[in-house]
Amino acid sequence: MNNDMNSDLELFTRLAKEVLSQEKENPVTKNISPNNLLNKLDIQLEKNGINEKQLSSILKEILKATPKTSSRLFFNQLFGGRHSKAVLGDLLSIILNNTMATYKVAGPQAAIEKEIINKVASIIEYESDFGGTFPTGGSMSNFMSLIMARDKKEPKIRREGVNTKLTLYTSENAHYSISKNTAFSGIGKENIRYIKSNLKGEMSVGDLKNQIQKDILQGFTPFYINATSGTTVLGAFDAIDKIAEVSKKYNIWLHVDGSYSGTAIFSKKYKELLKGVSLSDSFCFNAHKTLGTPLSCSVLVVKNKKYLYNSFDNDATYLYQTHHDLDDFNLGKTSFECGRKNNALKFWVLWKSIGTHGISKIVEKGYDLSNFAQSYIEKNKDYKVYSYPNTLSVCFNYKNYDPVDLCTKLYETNTLMVGYGSFKKNTFVRLVVVNTNNNIRALRQFFSILEKFAKNNSAKLKKVTCLKNKKTY
């Protein structure tokens, strides 16, 4: 088989058009059991290669069977759809194939990344010493913030290892990466303090204070607080301004995990949800979750860039060979990775094309869709609601059907793709409305399909007793 870029780009264009067509004709991909994949699809690798026609045919079948995360019936998880300008930027970054470690190799791409960091830092009102990077995702952003906090509290750890009884604090509803990262960092999962939350899913500041005081009395060293802006299940926002008072009092690093909903900073209408973010030590958001940017695109900004250098800079003369007087453009010195893909270009092309006002419109559209869905549920006696307005997760149950069973059967029958979640002993359908390609018409269609499916399959669906009903806002 020839290594012919022009020919393969033509094939890509044909396949991409087929994917777009499939999304309209069959928005929910036919479900194939993992046990049957090798029987249904030609995935196995062989000794000999194949010709172009065979490859095209196989790729078509694989693409047809792959879930379409940008389709109008995909409401399953945190995928922000697919904005054409962001896709353009991503494709160009693949063709260019630059690593972002050094200015020598990245060239103007380094400046593009820095421009985004500068603008984000300005929006959240960080001052002149800020810095930032593009980690591979929200989990890595959270990990890097944890490492910086650890090294700030105990600088010797980088050389000697962890010998101090360090403790960190996060909501019981925080992303699971906090637990994983604590293990990776050497802190240990037993030193996580999961702070209770209220009925909205927001961290209890009073419980946070009490736990820190208790730990200090027992000889522990508190070093890190993770506040969440958009919890994974309910989409709740922790009170950053109040948590910041606690972090300042006890000299604890405050990280704001805005991976899910941190993009609210772009909206004048919704940025109040992150009140106090300027008081944090670090902040991250994922453009791939809510802004229509392809995976992955995570932005991490730090109030003082020296902590990026302290934790992630390392001598490498074989790598850093030029522009030592402009080290800020040698981005590998402030990054966890060396051979790091250029994830900034796709976000920059989107932002440059539609402007900050356009980014704001994308954000506000998500909340408009969420509030529409929330209102629809609250007005319908057949539903019970578990979420709150102005979040991007709409959580509900319908006619007391078991949400696990309902979501599973919707998926297995290629009807809808939506997931479920749990909070305070309740399990419910979790409708995620961050797909930028969706609209109110798509939401109406979602509810219509779900209700019709439940009616037609009522005898086959399990029932549960819901513990709680609608809450008072």
**Residue 183, C-beta contacts closer than 8 angstroms, at least 6 positions apart:** 189
Q: What are phi and psi of 366, to 5 degrees?
A: -60, -45
- Model confidence, pTM: 0.94
Indicate the average pLDDT of the chain: 93
pLDDT digits (tens, 9 = 90+) for 264-319: 999 999 999 999 999 999 999 999 999 999 999 999 999 999 999 999 998 777 77
Question: What is the three-state SS of 293-327?
Answer: CCCCCEEEEECCCHHHHHHHCCCCCCCCCCCHHHH
- Taking Cα atoms as reference points, which of 297, 294, 446, 296 lies closest to residue 369? 446
Question: pLDDT value at position 374?
Answer: 96
Residue showing tokens 């994308």:
362
pLDDT digits (tens, 9 = 90+) for 368-399: 999 999 999 999 999 999 999 999 999 999 99
User: Percentage of the chain with pLDDT > 70?
Assistant: 97
Where do the domains of the chain lie? 5-64, 99-343
Domain 99-343, CATH number (from 3.40.50.300, 3.40.640.10, 3.40.50.450, 3.40.50.2000): 3.40.640.10
Concatenate the DSSP letters of all residues of 203-239 into one string: B-HHHHHHHHHHHHHTT-EEEEEEEEBS-TTT--B--
